[in-house]
Amino acid sequence: MAQVVSSSSPMATSSRTLAGRDIQTLLLASLGGALEFYDFVVFVFFALPLSHLFFPPNTAPWLAQLQVYGIFAAGYLARPLGGIVMAHFGDRQGRKRMFTLSVFLMALPTLAIGLLPVYAQAGLLAPLLLLLMRIVQGVAIGGEVPGAWVFVAEHAPPGRVGFACACLTSGLTAGILIGSLTAAWINHHLAPEQVLAWGWRLPFLLGGVFGFIAVWLRRWLSETPVFAQLRERKELSRELPLRTVLAGHGGSVLLSMAVTWTLTAAILVLILMLPNLAQKPFGIAPDVAFLGNSVAAFCLGLGCLAYGWLTDRIGAARALLVGSLALIAATYALFADLEAGGTHFLPLYALTGFLVGSVGVVPTVMVMAFPAPIRYSGISFAYNVAYAAFGALTATLISYLGERVGRMAPAHYVAMTAVVSVVAALWLMLSKRNKDKQFL
């Protein structure tokens, strides 16, 4: 199914330890990724005040909230467009340029959201501007995540690709934690009236400033050695990279979409949605639910690092298999405890968050699935299209399943997607075509 890097590739030679320059690259890339992901997700933490401020005062609360969530979703739907366009130039002009452009495109609209006029000041122009800024954010994140994985993977020494990609993924998930903690701090220290008056602007203004700091930090990064070699040898894709991907690497696209489905389900259901799922159907107190969420998000970052280390030790296929099976077990244990009253909710949620870190294996699988000249385009297309489709369907599908199978529906959904990754891992382990040690 997947075409992997050959043994002659710069990414498939003998291993060496991380040098000072490698660590600097990982730190700068991870920090920039965390700040950019914070900019993207902080929107959802302030959906309620935004729903009050950017729509007519006589709008029903449920409708205003639905509209602001629709604007939030627009960012996801814009991801494939940004990913495809930026990946095209990343494969033709260089990884570093697009890696820097993506964080700039995120910082600018985030700062602008913090300065936007509200409905009382600008009428219908206010929600239209908010929608436009959210679309630009989606374009930016669509190029950032695949580009960041490609960037750190091609900078990493051979035999350390798994840990490098996991460090970046851990940085991205840290952005969720930063957003959660920022929202908690603002809502704790400011009265609701102050949040509506001006407090809601603070996280966006801070995010914009932090984003421009990330732009400045990324100027110290260098082009990846893999792309530099391709350019020197004149081996860059002569055709449209995406056309090459679709014409000759359909199996790699399907593989990448399959593992992205697991990543999407694990992050959306177990990290972003679970605080609300635990409250309404299972009766967990809101403060306990969100405390558990913060702990789980922290453990998620640690889990990404652990599975990245494991990937370099036993190979991506085996690490994906182990991680997917462990994720299934932890998910059912957590929801079974919730069914029984949630006595062990906090420790089980922390453990589940750690095991969600198995998604840290996913970028290594995708990086190794595509040859270097079209790697950025291949990953970007598969990841963003899958994330947009599955991300948009997840909440609706869980509601549909919940009406038919009860409160355990989220656990069944996550388990179903993890089984898909189990099948993908077994295929990679058994395929005679995939002999690269990064997989086996």
pLDDT in tens, 18-65: 666 667 777 777 777 787 778 877 887 787 788 888 888 887 777 776
**CA dihedral sign, ordered 367, 371, 377, 382:** negative
Percent of the chain with pLDDT over 90: 35
Q: What is the pLDDT confidence band of residue 102, given thresholds at 50, 70 and 90?
A: confident
Written as one string, the DSSP assignment of 222-246 is: ---HHHHHHHHTT-S-SS-HHHHHH
* DSSP H or E run through 128: helix 125-155
Q: Stretch 371-396: mean pLDDT, rounded?
A: 86
Predicted confidence at residue 17, as pLDDT, reads 62
Predicted confidence at residue 274, as pLDDT, reads 87
Q: Stretch 312-331: mean pLDDT, rounded?
A: 96
Strands (E), 41-166: none
Predicted confidence (pLDDT) at residue 210 exceeds the cutoff of 90 = no
Predicted confidence at residue 309, as pLDDT, reads 95
| 8 Å CB contact between 377 and 87 | yes
| 8 Å CB contact between 90 and 153 | no
- Average pLDDT of the chain, as a whole number: 84
Residues 6+ apart with CB under 8 A from 95: 147, 150, 151, 154, 223, 224, 227, 376
Predicted confidence (pLDDT) at residue 438 exceeds the cutoff of 80 = no
Q: What is the pLDDT confidence band of residue 434, given thresholds at 50, 70 and 90?
A: very low
Distance between CA atoms of 398 and 411, rounded to whole angstroms? 9
Distance between CA atoms of 431 and 5, rounded to whole angstroms? 15
Predicted confidence (pLDDT) at residue 205 exceeds the cutoff of 90 = yes
Predicted confidence at residue 4, as pLDDT, reads 43
Token pair for residue 290?
A: 């969100």
Distance between CA atoms of 366 and 178, rounded to whole angstroms? 27
Distance between CA atoms of 61 and 124, rounded to whole angstroms? 17
Predicted confidence at residue 381, as pLDDT, reads 92
Predicted confidence (pLDDT) at residue 237 exceeds the cutoff of 80 = no
Distance between CA atoms of 415 and 406, rounded to whole angstroms? 15
Angle CA(204)–CA(207)–CA(212) in degrees, nearest 5? 130
Predicted confidence (pLDDT) at residue 15 exceeds the cutoff of 60 = no
Q: What is the pLDDT confidence band of residue 332, given thresholds at 50, 70 and 90?
A: very high
Superfamily name and number for 20-430: MFS general substrate transporter like domains (1.20.1250.20)
Distance between CA atoms of 242 and 84, rounded to whole angstroms? 8
Domain-wise residue ranges, the chain: 20-430
Of 368, 425, 432, 433, the C-alpha closest to 5 is 368
Predicted confidence at residue 440, as pLDDT, reads 42
Is pLDDT larger for residue 64 or for residue 260? 260
Please give the distance of CA 192 from its chain centroid, rounded to a whole number: 30
Is pLDDT larger for residue 397 or for residue 368? 368
Predicted confidence (pLDDT) at residue 13 exceeds the cutoff of 80 = no
Of 87, 80, 69, the C-alpha closest to 138 is 80
Predicted confidence at residue 65, as pLDDT, reads 67
pLDDT in tens, 418-430: 999 999 999 998 8
Predicted confidence at residue 16, as pLDDT, reads 55
Entry pTM:
0.82
Residue whose pair of structure tokens reads 């994330």 in the numeric block: 387
Q: What is the pLDDT confidence band of residue 7, given thresholds at 50, 70 and 90?
A: very low
Token pair for residue 330?
A: 């932890």
Residues 6+ apart with CB under 8 A from 228: none
